[in-house]
Structures are given as structure tokens and as C-alpha cells.
Amino acid sequence: MIGSLALIFFCQLVGEIISRLTKLPIPGPVIGMVILFCGLVLRKSMPSELETVTGFLHRNLPLLFVPAGVGVIKNLNMLQRYWAPFTGAIIIGTAVTIAVTGVVMQLLNRRHITDQKEQQS
């Protein structure tokens, strides 16, 4: 289990290094998650220990939002001052996410249907 947790943290560390060296506007943990995902895709299976660790983290995910909630409460005056841009960013970000997800799902569904037709032929 410790090895799997170390793998997750290592991917996060590599992502953080890449983010800082390239000055990308993408957080290091997100890059690390993509690196871990690519590694799992190349391996074509998930080790059971890694599945156990990620399951534990997923079940306890709400605890990870506590520091963010404390940060929001600590900066309420900033939220009051800039509520309009925050609200706009949330609404626009949500709309873009829904739109991109819809387009990707349509493309994947078309690809899946095409693959099924080719297999039947």
C-alpha cells in the first residue's frame, strides 16, 4: 500500500516539477494525474494495491475539501468584493464543461457505433 501511495505522490511531484519548469497554467497535481492515467493505460490494468489506495482516497475525498472551505471562509471579504467575476467564472466554467462533455460523448458514441458496424461486417 505504501508503494502505491508513493506512486501517486511521485506522479504528483513530477507533475509539479513539469508545471513549474514549463510555467504552464495547469496545476502540478493535474499533470501528475494525467501522467498516472497514461501509465495505467499503457499497462492496461490497475494493480490491486493501487485500486485499494485510490478507493480509500475516494471514500474520504470530502475531507480534502475542508482546507478549501476554511480558505473560502477566511477570504469572505474578497468574495463579497468580487462576487460577480466569481459567479461568472463558475457559470461559464460549468457551461463549457457540460458542452465539452456532451461533444466528447457524441464523438465516442459515433466511434463505438462505427466499431460495432465494422465488427458485424
Residues 39-61 have pLDDT tens digits of 999 988 888 899 899 899 899 98
Indicate the pTM of the whole model: 0.57
What is the extent of the structural domain holding 115? 68-121
The neighbour count for residue 15, using CB atoms within 10 Å, is 22
Same domain membership, residue 55 and residue 74 = no
The domain boundary, picked from 9, 27, 59, lies at 59
Tell me what the mean pLDDT of segment 3-31 comes to. Answer: 93
Rg (alpha carbons) of the chain, rounded to whole number: 20
In total, how many domains does the chain have?
Answer: 2
User: What is the distance between the alpha carbons of residues 8 and 105, in angstroms, rounded to a whole number?
Assistant: 28
pLDDT in tens, 69-121: 898 899 899 989 999 999 999 999 999 999 999 999 999 999 888 888 888 87
Structure confidence at residue 117 (pLDDT): 82
Place of cell 463549457: 96
pLDDT in tens, 22-38: 998 899 999 999 999 99
Tell me what the mean pLDDT of segment 10-26 comes to. Answer: 94
Same domain membership, residue 74 and residue 55 = no
Same domain membership, residue 33 and residue 86 = no
Structure confidence at residue 119 (pLDDT): 84
Q: 1 in helix, strand or coil? A: coil
User: What is the distance between the alpha carbons of residues 14 and 18, in angstroms, rounded to a whole number?
Assistant: 6
Burial class for 54, CB neighbours closer than 10 Å (0-12, 13-18, 19+): middle
